[in-house]
Structure 1
């Protein structure tokens, strides 16, 4: 087992334990529908773009796994993700709110059954995917993560993926960056150009992620 896979395995064990604890609070998708007013202004508008820390499309979260959405919001609360707006929003949520909102977004899109990307990577991108052991965490078609707290990434906006991947390389910046033992180690292996190649490929894949406009934006 190479060093990357060894690190992933060790941190996955810890992550599974944490996820099991988080699942003690059960989400109610119906209750979540009444708690997403602060989310839909960005995540409920197709093609909406953020300008911090650089211009990129706001990530699609409809169809994303509830465990990942919950883990992300908790990471903002803890300061492990340093986006000021998202941290402010996350800090306003209780554990039950997070569970309900996460269940709501997971249930908006039925998961696909695809197990293999319809689009094959180039030889160069295939080598990058192998180096990062990407499928070992994000699963079949990059949409069947091995742990609920890991994201589906197939079909996510490529520009967002690129910004997110770069953020794991940022250290000691109070406003920008992400702290994650697995992803930081993986992202550091790549140049920004290589991260962009990965993001562009994964963003072109068919996946579960969608932007589902809410009633006030339709």
Structure 2
């Protein structure tokens, strides 16, 4: 089922608002398992992903993670592009590099996502999801990211996401054959 969305370049999701499906090829295996586990537990509340993750065993998650991690064959540029003044100030305020790495593709913990080169609209929706509380359908339960995201206005989140999307990262969408 994963390739039905994550294997189509530019494919868009319409919940909770229209945004590109995230690039997962090249993410770390620990992050993919962590994200799927969060969907399964309900800490991430995207209804489609929660339904899919709910049907997966731990071994299924490990196998999917190994598959998508193996597709990340291009190393990220070690030095990020210079951000414009506004984006640089916002990234500094959020201390984004302290967890996601100086180039936003080498997180300090492999269960954290690589965000350099990810789709801007997806990053914006993800950031906003950390600010949602008490909603059974939308939101992400991560106290660290909630604290970071809640200090920004939506326009500032867009500015951060726009900059991160311009970086040369390891993430990509790898089209898959429908017939395997």
Question: Normalised by the size of structure 1, how large is the TM-score?
Answer: 0.80
Equivalenced residues, count: 179
Give the counterpart of 2:99 among 126, 134, 137: 137
Q: Which residue of 2 aligns with 1:66?
A: 29
Unaligned runs of 5+ in 1: 1-37
Deviations 1:114-144 (A, max 9, x none): 2211x21111211111110000100131000
Residue equivalent to 1:5: none
User: Which structure has the greater CA radius of gyration?
Assistant: 1
* Rounded Cα–Cα distance in structure 2 between residues aligned with 1:147 and 1:197: 25
User: What displacement does 1:179 show?
Assistant: 0.5
**Matched residue, 2:16:** 53
CA shift for structure 1 position 216: 1.7
- CA deviation vs aligned residue, 1:45-98 (integer Å, no higher than 9, x gap): 011000000000000000111111100000011110011110000010000110
Would you say 1:189 and 2:151 are equivalent positions? yes
Whether the 8 Å CA contact 2:120–2:161 is kept in 1: the answer is yes
1:120 is matched with which residue: 48, 68, 82? 82
1:85 is aligned to 48
The two structures, once aligned, show a CA RMSD in angstroms of 1.0
Which residue in the other structure is 1:149 paired with?
111
Distance 1:124 1:62 in 2: 30
Compare the two structures and name the one with the higher helix fraction.
1
CA positional deviation for 1:111 = 4.4
2-structure distance, mates of 1:183, 1:212: 28
Give the 5 Å matches for 1:139-178.
139-178=101-140
TM-score where L is the length of structure 2:
0.97
